[in-house]
């Protein structure tokens, strides 16, 4: 009986620690105070503009913007019943969404970045909550204080 109880506790602890590790990934703010997406090469900064458009800026090793080349970016966000897909066009050293985000807040969001149109996509998933964090003053989707 004691061994069974210890086994159950160990399994529960492993499950909780695995869940904790994935739920609490390290979030880094970019040079424009947007969320850094580190799976793409080069890394990209995801930023919601004042007009509720999404701006993607690729960041070089020196921390400065890198002009987009052949990258293809797609963002899917909004309610699960009526998702919104955003396409992007080059604007200066960034990519800017052609449409605005849907009304509301705190949507599941999937960002797909392809280095070239035929390359495999790097994928980032997070909740897009644009409310201001009381701790670090960043939008919640870029919260770095871990409150």
Residue 139 structure tokens? 């939008």
Q: What is the mean pLDDT of the chain?
A: 85
Mean pLDDT, range 51-60, rounded to an integer: 96
Residue 45 domain flag: yes
Q: Which of 19-23, 32-36, 57-61, 105-109 has the lowest mean pLDDT?
A: 19-23
The parent domain of residue 126 ranges over: 2-142
In a domain, 74, yes or no: yes
**What tens digit of pLDDT does each residue of 100-133 get?**
999 989 999 999 999 999 999 999 999 999 999 9
pLDDT of 3 reads: 53
**Buried b vs exposed e over 60-84: b needs ≥16 C-beta within 10 Å?**
eeeeebbebeebbbbbebbeeeeeb
Residue 100 belongs to some domain of the structure: yes
In a domain, 124, yes or no: yes
Say yes or no to pLDDT of 28 above 80: yes
- CATH number at 48 reads 2.60.40
Question: Is the predicted pLDDT of residue 10 greater than 70, yes or no?
Answer: no
Q: Is 126 inside a domain boundary? A: yes
Q: Is residue 32 part of a domain?
A: yes
Is the pTM higher than 0.85?
no
Q: Is residue 147 part of a domain?
A: no
Number of domains in the chain: 1
Q: Does residue 10 belong to any structural domain of this protein?
A: yes
pLDDT greater than 50 at residue 26: yes
């Amino acid at each position: 009986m004691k061994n069974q109880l210890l086994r159950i506790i160990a399994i529960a602890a492993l499950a909780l620690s695995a869940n904790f590790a994935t739920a609490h990934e390290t979030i880094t703010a970019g040079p424009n105070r947007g969320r850094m997406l580190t799976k793409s090469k080069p890394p990209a900064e995801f930023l919601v503009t004042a007009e509720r458009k999404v701006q993607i800026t690729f960041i070089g090793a020196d921390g400065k913007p890198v002009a987009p080349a052949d990258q293809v970016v797609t963002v899917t966000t909004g309610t699960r019943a009526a998702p919104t897909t955003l396409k992007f066009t080059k604007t200066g050293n960034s990519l800017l969404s052609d449409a605005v985000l849907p009304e509301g807040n705190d949507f599941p969001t999937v960002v797909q970045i392809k280095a070239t149109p035929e390359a495999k996509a790097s994928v980032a998933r997070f909740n897009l909550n644009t409310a201001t964090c009381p701790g670090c003053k960043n939008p919640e989707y870029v919260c770095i204080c871990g409150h």
